[in-house]
C-alpha cells in the first residue's frame, strides 16, 4: 500500500491547502493503516512517497514511525526529489 499525500502541512502548488496538524495526521494514518492491515492476518508492505525538501520533511514527525525497529510504520520511503532545485 503506497501513500502519496502531497503535502502534509502544506507547501504544494496551492498555498491555500494544508494545515499545521497534518504532519501528526500523516503519522496517525500510517499507524492506523498498519494496525488494520496487521489485523487482516496478511502481510503487506506500507510505503510512502514524501517530499524531500527541508521545509516538507520538517512538517512530519517521522521518528514516531520508526520507534519500534521490529515493526516500523513504513517499510519503504520514496523521496520525491522533483521539489528540489538549484
Which tens digit of pLDDT belongs to each residue from 27-50?
Answer: 999 999 999 999 999 999 999 999
Q: How many domains are contained in the chain?
A: 1
24 catalytic? Reply is no
What backbone phi and psi angles, to 5 degrees, belong to 51? -65, 140
Model-level pTM? 0.84
With a CB cutoff of 8 Å and minimum separation 6, the contacts of 22 are: 5, 8, 9, 10, 59
Instruction: Give the range of the structural domain holding residue 46, as residue numbers without chain letter.
Output: 2-83
Question: Of the listed 6, 22, 24, 32, which one is catalytic?
Answer: 6
- Of the chain, the percentage scoring pLDDT greater than 90 comes to 44
Amino acid at each position: 500500500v503506497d501513500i502519496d499525500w502531497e503535502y502534509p502541512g502544506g507547501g504544494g502548488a496551492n498555498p491555500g491547502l494544508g494545515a499545521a496538524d497534518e504532519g501528526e495526521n500523516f503519522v496517525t494514518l500510517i499507524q492506523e493503516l498498519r494496525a488494520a492491515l496487521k489485523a487482516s492476518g496478511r502481510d503487506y508492505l506500507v510505503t510512502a512517497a514524501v517530499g524531500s525538501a527541508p521545509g516538507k520533511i520538517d512538517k512530519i514527525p517521522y521518528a514516531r514511525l520508526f520507534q519500534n525497529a521490529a515493526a516500523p510504520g513504513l517499510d519503504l520511503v520514496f523521496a520525491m526529489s522533483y521539489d528540489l532545485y538549484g
